[in-house]
Every structure is written in C-alpha cells, then in structure tokens.
Amino acid sequence: MIMNDIKVAVMGSEGVGKSALIVRFLTRRFIGEYASSTECIYRKRMSIDGRQLNLELYDPCSQPCEGKSTLNEQIHWADGFVVVYDISDRSSFLTATAIVHLIRETHLGVAKRDRDTDSVIFLVGNKQDLCHVREVDREEGQRLASECRCQFYELSAAEHYQEVVLMFSKIVRNASLGGKAKDRRRRPSGSKSMAKLINNVFGKRRKSV
Ligand SMILES: Nc1nc2c(ncn2[C@@H]2O[C@H](COP(=O)(O)OP(=O)(O)OP(=O)(O)O)[C@@H](O)[C@H]2O)c(=O)[nH]1
C-alpha cells in the first residue's frame, strides 16, 4: 500500500495554545501546562477516505533553542499550515497576520501551479472559552482569512474536542489532496527563529489565564 506523508506545521506566537491543540488532537486530552522547551515533530498514522497517511505535526518551541528552524524553513517543509492566535491577545493576532502573509508570499509561486494552496492554510482563533476577555473579534479573524484565502476557525483547546479533531482532519485531507507527491524537502533545522523576530517586532505580552 502506498503511504503518503503529510506534513503540517502549527505556527503562532508563544502561549497561544499550539501544543494544547496538538495534544488535544493526538490524545483527546487537554493538558493545561505542557513543558515544550524543544521543537518537535509528532507522528500519527491516519486513515482518511480509506487512504493510509503518515501525518507529521510540527510543534515549534517559542523559546530560543539549539538548532531551531527558521520560519521560512518551516514554511518550505510543510504541506499544510495551522496558524494559531489567542482571541484574548491582540498581539498574537498581529503575529498570526504576519505569518499568514509570509506563507502566502512564499507559496505564491507554487500557487500558480497548484490552486489548492488556499485550502491548506487554516487560521485558528484559539481560547474561544475566554470570550469574556476577548481582544480580537470573530469578524477580524474572518476578514483576515478571506483576504488571505485561508479557512477560519474559532476553537478552544480547553473545551472542544470534536472541533479540534475535525479541524486537523480537514487540513490533513486538504494537504493530501493538494499533494503532488511533493519532492521531499528537508526537515526544519537551522539557527535563527523568525518567529522570535516577529514576536519582537510586535512586542508580545504573556497573558496568564
Ligand atoms: N483558557 C484556555 N487556555 C488555553 C487554551 N489552550 C491553551 N491554553 C493555555 O495557554 C497556555 C499556553 O498553551 P500552550 O499549548 O503551551 O501554548 P503554545 O502555543 O504551545 O506555547 P509555546 O510552547 O510557548 O509556544 C497554557 O497555560 C494552556 O493551558 C484554551 O483553549 N483555553
């Protein structure tokens, strides 16, 4: 049986809940405090539309660490992108905006050949359960998604399970359909973190919940 490798990068500024979303998807659990001091790739075997897929999920670490990949390397590596912000943190939305634009720019050349690129960038407003301290309106997320031709979700890794699973399943399916059995690219590796630079530019603020 032919196995397809699907690579999905989960991106966004520190503390938006990237690890929480991934862990929710992979284990069904919400793990509140999750120590992630290294970037890592999670692997999962999935069956989508009767096809067997090997999913690789890339979870960057926001702290500087040895051998960390750059945002550009992550973008080149991945077939699909989940760009996460925290609806209660406006600066994380600015970071997500910058990342989405960077992905669009990087993939523009590819997009001419491959029209499916639009369906492989998912913009996710996480921590929907914190809507009483919301700083980013749902409409703003929707607007960015339609401007940049991404799919849009508001979710809560803390409270939703089905929605999180559906979101990941959908991006894996879309990435596998767009897949022109990509010439396998290198794994993310490198030294400088573009994510860090973007965070610095927008001046991030860590919020306790
Ligand atoms: N209320 C609420 N808190 C959440 C949610 N998702 C994550 N958190 C909390 O947000 C904090 C950061 O979550 P992480 O999953 O570590 O975020 P991250 O984006 O992986 O962060 P880094 O690894 O530092 O990049 C933790 O305290 C989580 O418990 C959510 O949906 N709702």
**Per residue in 108-159, pLDDT tens?**
655 554 454 568 999 999 999 999 999 999 999 999 999 998 999 999 999 9
Q: State pLDDT tens for residues 186-198.
A: 445 443 344 444 4
Q: Which of 90-99, 128-137, 177-186 has the lowest mean pLDDT?
A: 177-186
* DSSP-based three-state secondary structure for 62: coil
Q: Quote the CA–CA distance of 136 and 96 in Å, as a whole number.
A: 12
Q: Give the pLDDT band (50/70/90) at residue 30.
A: confident
Q: Ligand 1 pocket test: pick from 11, 14, 19 the residue with the most ligand atoms within 8 Å of its Cβ.
A: 19
More confident residue, 89 or 3: 89
Q: Ligand 1 test: best mutation among 84, 127, 134, 164, most atoms within 8 Å of CB?
A: 127
**Cross-strand bridge partners of residue 56:** 7, 43
Element (H, E) at 73: helix 71-77
Which tokens go with 133? 């301290």
Give the Å distance between the CA of 122 and the centre of ligand 1: 18
pLDDT beyond 50 at 162: yes
- Indicate if the pLDDT at residue 208 is higher than 70: no
Whether 83 contacts 113, CB under 8 Å? no
For the ranges 48-57, 112-121, 174-183, the maximum mean pLDDT occurs at 48-57
SS3 content of the chain, % helix, strand, coil (to 5): 45, 20, 35
Tell me: ipTM over 0.90. Answer: yes
42 CA distance to ligand 1 middle (Å): 17
Average pLDDT for 161-172 = 95
Pocket of ligand 1 contains residue 176 by CB under 6 Å: no
Confidence of residue 94 (pLDDT cuts 50, 70, 90): very high
Cβ–ligand 1 distance for 19 under 6 Å, the answer yes
- DSSP letter for 107, please: H
Burial 66-85 (b: 16+ CB within 10 A, else e): eebbbbebbbebbbbbbbbb
pTM of the model: 0.82
How far away, in angstroms, is 14 Cα from ligand 1 center? Answer: 8
| Alpha helices for 80-202 (secondary structure H) | 90-113, 138-147, 162-178, 194-202
Q: Which atom of ligand 1 approaches the CA of 62 most closely?
A: 25
**129 Cβ inside 6 Å of ligand 1:** yes
Lowest mean pLDDT among 11-15, 18-22, 50-54, 177-181: 177-181
